[in-house]
């Protein structure tokens, strides 16, 4: 598998993507919304392969937010069915291609059988090293911060809170903050995605709908990132 020719300094270690536009992709083709989600799920596979070729180490994907429960029930059931299908039938491919899969979000509201599948996939792929993919399901950035603080309190902590302490209790505290956050479909907002972790992330917005976000589009985002100067709040000396 060929790799990206860029220097390591130009390549973000962690890319996070708000996968938006499945419904509009389907509607523009006079297809049901679920067809758009199905095509979007196929594109996840393509983008993971492209990320591996680009030497990206971590890829976070916003699959289902805490607000998505407000969608029509048939659409929600269809999405849950898609999750079940891919976790069941794509596990061999994940293992073969060295993909480690993790999940972030509040699992309690998800169906028990789906949570069991998620736990199995995490365990079965735990030793894979090509790339770590974090699927954010029933995820909300504000909710993650609340859960982190509550977890610390439940453990009996009564001292002064610090950024380091809160960070250590986040869903995937061992994963580095995203260097680059991408949103597809033309919307220009974070929509409650990785609010804590994206404080100093570079942001890239594209009008391309998620099912059409191909490897060439990913390379455009990476080229944009390589041209940015990351200062983390500091001022460059002249």
Q: Which of 20, 22, 138, 179 is catalytic?
A: 20
| Cα–Cα dist 198/130, whole Å | 23
| Cα–Cα dist 171/102, whole Å | 10
Contact 13, 197 (CB under 8 A): no
Q: Which of 4, 10, 55, 68 is catalytic?
A: 68
Residue 20 annotated among the catalytic residues of the structure: yes
Report helix angle 33-53 to 73-89, nearest 10: 40
Sign of CA dihedral 124, 126, 132, 133: positive
Contact 136, 104 (CB under 8 A): yes
Residue 68 annotated among the catalytic residues of the structure: yes
Which residues are tagged catalytic?
20, 68
């Amino acid at each position: 598998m060929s790799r990206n020719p860029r220097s390591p300094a130009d390549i973000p270690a962690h890319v996070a993507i708000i996968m938006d536009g499945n419904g509009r992709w389907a509607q523009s083709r006079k297809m049901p919304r679920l067809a758009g989600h199905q095509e979007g799920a196929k594109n996840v596979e393509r983008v993971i392969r492209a990320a591996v070729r680009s030497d990206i180490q971590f890829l976070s994907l916003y699959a289902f937010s805490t607000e998505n429960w407000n969608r029509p029930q048939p659409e929600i059931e269809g999405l849950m069915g898609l999750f079940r299908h891919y976790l069941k039938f794509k596990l061999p491919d994940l293992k073969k291609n060295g993909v480690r899969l993790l999940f972030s979000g509040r699992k309690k509201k998800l169906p028990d059988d789906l949570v069991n599948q998620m736990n199995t996939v995490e365990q079965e792929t735990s030793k894979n090293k090509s790339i770590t993919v974090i699927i954010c399901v029933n995820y909300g950035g504000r909710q993650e911060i609340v859960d982190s603080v509550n977890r610390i309190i439940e453990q009996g902590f009564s001292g002064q809170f610090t950024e380091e302490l809160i960070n250590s209790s986040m869903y995937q505290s061992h994963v580095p903050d995203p260097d680059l956050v991408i949103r597809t479909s033309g919307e220009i907002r974070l929509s409650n995605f990785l609010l804590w972790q994206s404080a100093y992330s570079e942001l890239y917005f594209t009008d391309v709908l998620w099912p059409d976000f191909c490897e060439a589009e990913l390379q455009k985002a990476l080229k944009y990132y390589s041209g940015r100067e990351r200062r983390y709040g500091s001022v460059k000396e002249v």
